[in-house]
């Protein structure tokens, strides 16, 4: 690796490297050589030092408002008071351990904690102008975060006594009502305060579920229906991810797909709501069941009883779809007749399940 | 190294220690001291205020998240921040060029001579001395360095713009930058 030809070539290229005037593959070659060659490393240090001085003739004051947003974003990425080690510890083998105490998506609460941490990292990189960008949901970024915060508040009201962040919504308030109130509040306190309140409520929800695991086995009143607490956490993790994707699309960030384990948790919990949704959509009880064959990472096969006898018999119909597409139907991103799927058997029975799935969608 | 230089080194070690400890005021100090350098350089290279603001944000987040990669005994905060900011600015410009498509070949156009972003108030004596040092270089070396550093061109693009072989472009960069290092160390601005 450290032969004379490489050495001579790198030496000729060092100034271009110091000025960031090399292609990426050349940068890699130069930096590899610098690890082994003291003479080149010394010349590199001198040349980089000289190049660095070129910048001093180009100073310009950044806009004053940038200071607060940069410092806030930095302190969200690493909380003040958290020490760092010097010199750097050698890189440990294997994947980096997650810095997020809640970032383990092995259950519904973990999935929610993971999605919250991911969205928070995205939000802390936004510039002031990004917060007012409209999203596909029709709300701006700040209004969308207010909406998430409002609906998280329904779960908070159900499982946390005297939640400090509560805006005092009546127990029977609907999604629109709660969202409007939260958005008004966001306008009053500003985006950064809203982000902190949303994050504080999410952390409190996770901490509550972790300290009182018995809660997860119980039910909670959630927007007019009684649902298992674990199911509501799955709902919150999916909605948090979905709106994070809306924000990414609005500000031009690349999409971050859900992990297979999370898709599985979301699909399982949404499918578990289908019998209830069938009743609420007024589908007539039918004999037998519909089989859902959901393909792709996190997918699987689920059975949906149709309310009549014969739930253990042969399936009246089979719906085959991509698991992510089916989750997006639950999330309101498809209509029952637009979700890409293949139906075999009794079309009416299958359609009633698709209509029930779409009925679970909210903004 | 002069007595004043030792003093500065000591201050930088102290500031670095505070960053490692997670002292939020240390980051605010660093921001106040160096954000004009980072913003000015990013703006000069990208010619885009929005991109320059994003670079300021990402540079200071990186410094706060991983202060341990900096060694105050081997470099200065100014050099470190300038290096990170320049690299990011170059990445932004190159990815914009890549998006605009190869056929446009914008790098073959003669560079518009610099939208100068310098705002007078900070035209310190150090900046004057650096500018004077650059102006002492032969024209051909100055041109090569400006194209590479401020126009984010690779040495191949520098060669094309100047109409010289790649080897010539590389050696102009090398001779010029080495000469600049010599002048700057004679000025007491850097150790050789």
pLDDT at A260: 86
Residue range B27-54: average pLDDT?
A: 94
pLDDT tens sequence across B57-104 = 999 999 999 898 888 888 889 999 999 999 989 988 887 776 665 334
Contacting residues for A74 by C-beta, under 8 A, at least 6 apart: B27, B60, B61, B64, B65
Kindly identify which residue of chain B lies nearest to residue A13, measuring between CA atoms. B170
A280 backbone dihedrals φ, ψ, rounded to 5°: -70, -30
pLDDT at A165: 80
Containing B125, the helix (H) or strand (E) segment is helix B125-135
CA distance B164 to A110: 60
Q: For tokens 């080897």, what's the residue? A: B167
Are B41 and A58 a contacting pair at CB < 8 A?
yes
- Closest Cβ opposite residue B192 in set A16, A46, A74: A46
CA distance B88 to B117: 18
Contacting residues for B133 by C-beta, under 8 A, at least 6 apart: A53, B180, B183, B184, B187
Length of chain A: 363
Residue range B17-42: average pLDDT?
A: 95
pLDDT at A285: 84
Alpha carbon A130 to chain centroid distance? Answer: 18
DSSP character string of A240-279: HHHHHHHHHHHHTPPP-PPPHHHHHHHHHHHHHTHHHHHH
Residue B116 structure tokens: 């100068």
Kindly identify which residue of chain A lies nearest to residue B171, measuring between CA atoms. A12
CA distance B41 to B47: 10
CA distance B44 to B81: 15
Please count the residue pairs, one from chain A and one from chain B, whose beta carbons lie less than 8 angstroms apart: 211
Contacting residues for A39 by C-beta, under 8 A, at least 6 apart: none
ipTM of the prediction: 0.85
Residue B45 has pLDDT above 60, yes or no: yes
Q: Are B147 and B157 in contact (CB under 8 A)?
A: yes
Q: For tokens 């996190």, what's the residue? A: A298
Neighboring chain B residues of A91 at a CB cutoff of 8 Å: none
> Of the given ranges (A98-102, A235-239, B10-14, B31-35), which has the lowest mean pLDDT?
A98-102
- Closest Cβ opposite residue B68 in set A21, A66, A86: A86
Distance from CA of A22 to the nearest CA of B (A): 5
Look at the pTM and tell me if it is higher than 0.90. Answer: no
Neighboring chain A residues of B85 at a CB cutoff of 8 Å: 55
Closest CA relative to residue B163, chosen from B179, B180, B147: B147
Residue A293 bridge partners (DSSP): A301, A320
Cα Rg, chain A, nearest whole Å? 26
pLDDT tens sequence across B114-146 = 444 444 434 457 888 888 899 999 999 999 999
Indicate the average pLDDT of chain B.
83
Count Cβ atoms within 10 A of the Cβ of residue A72 and give its class: 0-12 exposed, 13-18 middle, 19 or more buried: middle
Are B154 and A16 a contacting pair at CB < 8 A?
yes
pLDDT at B19: 95
Per-position pLDDT tens, chain A of length 363: 446 778 888 999 999 999 999 987 788 788 888 988 999 999 999 999 999 999 888 889 999 999 999 999 999 989 998 888 755 444 433 333 333 434 456 789 999 999 998 999 889 888 888 899 999 888 999 999 999 999 999 999 999 888 878 888 888 899 999 999 999 999 988 898 899 899 999 999 998 998 888 888 899 999 988 999 999 999 999 999 999 999 999 988 888 888 888 999 999 999 999 999 998 888 888 888 999 999 888 888 899 998 877 666 778 899 999 999 999 999 999 999 999 999 999 999 999 999 999 999 988
Are A19 and B69 a contacting pair at CB < 8 A?
no
Helix (H, G, I), strand (E, B) or coil at A322: strand
pLDDT at B192: 56
Kindly identify which residue of chain B lies nearest to residue A53, measuring between CA atoms. B130
pLDDT at A86: 56
Q: For tokens 């999410």, what's the residue? A: A202
């Amino acid at each position: 690796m450290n032969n004379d030809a490489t050495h001579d070539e790198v030496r000729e290229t060092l100034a271009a490297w110091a000025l960031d005037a090399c292609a990426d593959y050349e940068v890699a070659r130069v930096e590899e050589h610098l690890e082994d060659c003291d003479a080149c490393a010394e010349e590199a240090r001198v040349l980089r030092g000289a190049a660095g001085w070129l910048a001093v003739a180009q100073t310009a004051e950044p806009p004053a408002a940038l200071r607060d947003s940069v410092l806030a974003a930095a302190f969200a990425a690493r909380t003040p008071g958290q020490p760092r080690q010097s010199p750097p510890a050698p890189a440990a083998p294997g994947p980096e351990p997650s810095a997020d105490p809640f970032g383990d998506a092995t259950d519904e609460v973990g999935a929610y904690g993971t999605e919250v941490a991911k969205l928070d990292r995205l939000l802390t990189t936004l510039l002031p102008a990004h917060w007012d960008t409209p999203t596909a949901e029709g709300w701006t970024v700040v209004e969308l975060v207010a909406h998430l915060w409002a609906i998280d508040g329904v779960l908070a009201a159900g499982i946390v006594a005297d939640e400090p962040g509560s805006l005092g919504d009546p127990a029977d308030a609907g999604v629109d009502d709660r969202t409007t109130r939260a958005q008004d509040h966001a306008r009053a306190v500003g985006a950064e305060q809203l982000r902190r309140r949303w994050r504080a409520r999410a952390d409190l929800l996770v901490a509550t579920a972790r300290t009182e695991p018995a809660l997860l086995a119980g039910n909670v009143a959630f927007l007019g229906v009684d649902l298992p607490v674990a199911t509501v956490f799955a709902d919150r993790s999916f909605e948090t991810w979905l709106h994070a994707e809306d924000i990414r699309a609005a500000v031009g960030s690349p999409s971050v797909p859900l992990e297979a384990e999370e898709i599985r948790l979301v699909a399982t919990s949404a499918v578990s709501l289908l019998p209830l949704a069938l009743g609420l959509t007024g589908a007539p009880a039918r004999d037998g069941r519909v089989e859902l064959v959901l393909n792709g990472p996190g997918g699987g096969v689920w059975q949906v009883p149709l309310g009549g006898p014969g739930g253990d018999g042969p399936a009246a119909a089979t719906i085959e779809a991509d698991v992510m597409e089916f989750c997006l139907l639950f999330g309101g991103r498809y209509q029952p007749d637009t979700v890409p799927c293949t139906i075999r058997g009794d079309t009416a029975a299958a359609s009633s399940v698709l209509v029930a799935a779409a009925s679970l969608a909210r903004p | 190294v002069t007595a004043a230089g030792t003093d500065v080194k000591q201050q930088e070690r102290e500031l670095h220690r505070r960053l490692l400890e997670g002292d939020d005021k240390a980051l605010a100090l660093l921001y106040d001291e160096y954000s004009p350098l980072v913003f000015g350089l990013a703006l000069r290279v990208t010619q885009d205020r929005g991109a320059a603001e994003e670079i300021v944000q990402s540079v200071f987040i990186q410094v706060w998240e991983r202060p341990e990669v900096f060694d105050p005994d081997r470099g200065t905060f100014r050099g470190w921040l300038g290096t990170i900011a320049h690299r990011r600015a170059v990445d932004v410009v190159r990815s914009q060029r890549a998006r605009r498509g190869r056929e446009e070949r914008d790098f073959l156009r003669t560079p518009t001579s610099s939208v100068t972003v310098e705002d007078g108030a900070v035209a310190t004596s150090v900046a004057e001395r650096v500018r004077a040092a650059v102006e002492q270089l032969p024209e051909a070396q100055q041109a090569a360095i400006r194209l590479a550093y401020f126009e984010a061109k690779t040495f191949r693009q520098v060669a094309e713009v100047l109409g010289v072989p790649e080897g010539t472009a590389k050696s102009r960069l090398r001779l010029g930058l080495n000469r600049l290092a010599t002048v700057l160390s004679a000025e007491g601005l850097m150790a050789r």
